Each structure stands twice: as C-alpha cells, then as structure tokens.
C-alpha cells in the first residue's frame, strides 16, 4: 500500500520502504552489502508516530533478527498508525527497555520512579521512532540469514541512519535512546561529527534483551554508577 507523504513524518528511509517491493529488492542499498541480493530477507522499518502524536524520541538498536520477520510483515499490513503501534508494543527492544528499567527501578532505586516509567512507556508507544543500525534481519546461527557484521552495519547506517537522524531532528526530536555497544560506537562518531546533534539528549543503555541481563546488573561500581545515572537522567528528562 502506498500512503501519501503528508500522513507520516518526513523520513527518506520510511518513504523508501513504504513501497513493499523496496524491502526485498533493495534498490537503494549499497552494492557492497552482503544482504543486497537476499530478497528473502526484508529491510525492516517502523513508521514514526502518526498525527496528532508528535515525534519526541528515537530508539536505535543494532539489528532485527529473522525471528522478527513474520511479526514485521504482519504489522506492515496495517495502517501506518497500526503498524507503528503494533511494533512498539510487542516483545521487542522498545518494550524490553521499559521492562529492564522497571526491574532496575525495583532492585536498585527503591521503586522511586514508577510514575516516570509509566510516562516513559506512554511516550514510547505514542511518540518514539524506532530504527536500527543494520536494517536487514540477521541470524546468529547463519541458518536463515547471514550473521551480523560490522562492515554491513556501517554501510547500512551511513546509507540510512545518518539521514534518518537528520530528518528526525528537523521533525523536532528531543532525545535518542541508543542500546548496545555496536549502535553506541556508530552513534558516538555521529554525535561528535554532526552539528545537528547539538542540543539532542542521548542516553546510552545496554541492549535490553534477556541475553544482556548482566549489563543491567553490573558488579563494577563505576559501571553501575554510569547506568544508574543514565536511567535516572532519562526518566527525569521525559
């Protein structure tokens, strides 16, 4: 289904993947990327918040996996608002972030920020654009798709994510939540080199999947202090 551009935020990446054929044919992707010719592995994209909801934040995670293909294809069959709402509320990084922060709040912050977490979740569902460093679905086992490789992620992020962030800033985004070390490495380079990054609040958090639970419960005092500060600053900001 092709939607008129006036009904969603002006992001060139989303403009591209609204056309279903583009998510498999990948005409605008780098010819050097290993995923370019893999038409069975779709590009994943989530529309931004739909009017009258405003765009306030961006989440950047590393890469979708092949387990996400069917939920993604199912969400694409809905309206842009339904597509966005479904993928911001399923078990995936946006809601995993809420879960990890809620657990951290109970374990380490004496449940001090319960109200703020409810507010963050409302913003997550209604006012946040979720995107990835690497857009095509990967497979850790290499059975259904290639594994994640930094080379492909760099090509993808330089092609798409750089422009997405510029577009989001034009649209009024106030904060970015970046999860995981690979996304963090790319975003820190962008933050240091992009003039438009000035004034945008960036919060770096561990990846919120269960596999990264250790990073949300650091034994090292400095790491714990940094994580606590990032979480509290985020909750107080929103």
Cβ atoms of 168 and 49 closer than 8 Å: no
- Residue 197: its pLDDT value, please? 85
Joined tokens for residue 99: 């879960």
CA–CA dist 197, 202 (Å, integer)? 9
- Tens of each residue's pLDDT in the chain, 238 residues: 333 333 446 578 999 999 999 999 999 999 999 999 999 999 999 999 998 999 999 999 999 999 999 999 999 999 999 999 999 999 999 999 999 999 999 999 999 999 999 999 999 999 999 999 999 999 999 999 999 999 999 999 999 999 999 999 999 999 999 999 999 999 999 999 988 888 899 999 999 999 999 999 999 999 999 999 999 999 999 9
Give tens-digit pLDDT for 63-114: 999 999 999 999 999 999 999 999 999 999 999 999 999 999 999 999 999 9
Predicted pLDDT of residue 10: 58
What is the rounded distance in angstroms from the CA atom of residue 44 to the CA atom of residue 93? 14
In degrees and rounded to multiples of 5, residue 136 shows phi and psi of -80, 150
DSSP string of 202-234, one letter each residue: EEEE---SGGGGGGGS-SSHHHHHHHHHHHHHH
Determine the length of the chain.
238
Distances (CA, A) of 123 to 19, 174, 205: 27, 12, 17
pTM: 0.94
pLDDT value at residue 198: 87
End-to-end CA distance of the chain: 34
- Domains for the chain: give ranges and CATH numbers: 5-237 (3.40.470)
């Amino acid at each position: 289904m092709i939607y008129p551009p006036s009904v969603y935020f002006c992001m060139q990446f989303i403009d591209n993947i609204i056309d279903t054929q583009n998510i498999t044919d990948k005409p605008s992707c780098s010819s050097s990327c290993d995923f370019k010719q893999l038409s069975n592995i779709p590009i994943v994209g989530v529309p931004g918040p739909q009017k009258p909801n405003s765009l306030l934040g961006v989440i950047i995670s590393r890469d979708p996996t092949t387990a996400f293909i069917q939920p993604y294809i199912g969400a694409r069959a809905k309206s842009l608002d339904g597509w966005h709402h479904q993928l911001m509320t399923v078990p995936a990084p946006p809601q995993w972030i809420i879960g990890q922060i809620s657990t951290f709040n109970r374990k380490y912050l004496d449940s001090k920020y319960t109200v703020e977490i409810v507010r963050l979740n409302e913003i997550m569902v209604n006012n946040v654009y979720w995107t990835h460093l690497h857009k095509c679905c990967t497979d850790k086992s290499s059975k259904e798709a290639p594994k994640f490789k930094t080379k492909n992620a760099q090509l993808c992020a330089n092609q798409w994510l750089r422009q997405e962030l510029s577009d989001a800033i034009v649209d009024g985004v106030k904060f970015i939540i970046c999860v995981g070390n690979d996304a963090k490495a790319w975003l820190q380079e962008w933050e240091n080199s992009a003039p438009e990054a000035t004034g945008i609040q960036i919060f770096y958090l561990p990846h919120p999947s269960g596999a990264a639970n250790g990073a949300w419960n650091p034994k090292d005092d400095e790491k714990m202090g940094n994580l606590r500060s990032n979480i509290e600053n985020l909750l107080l900001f929103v």
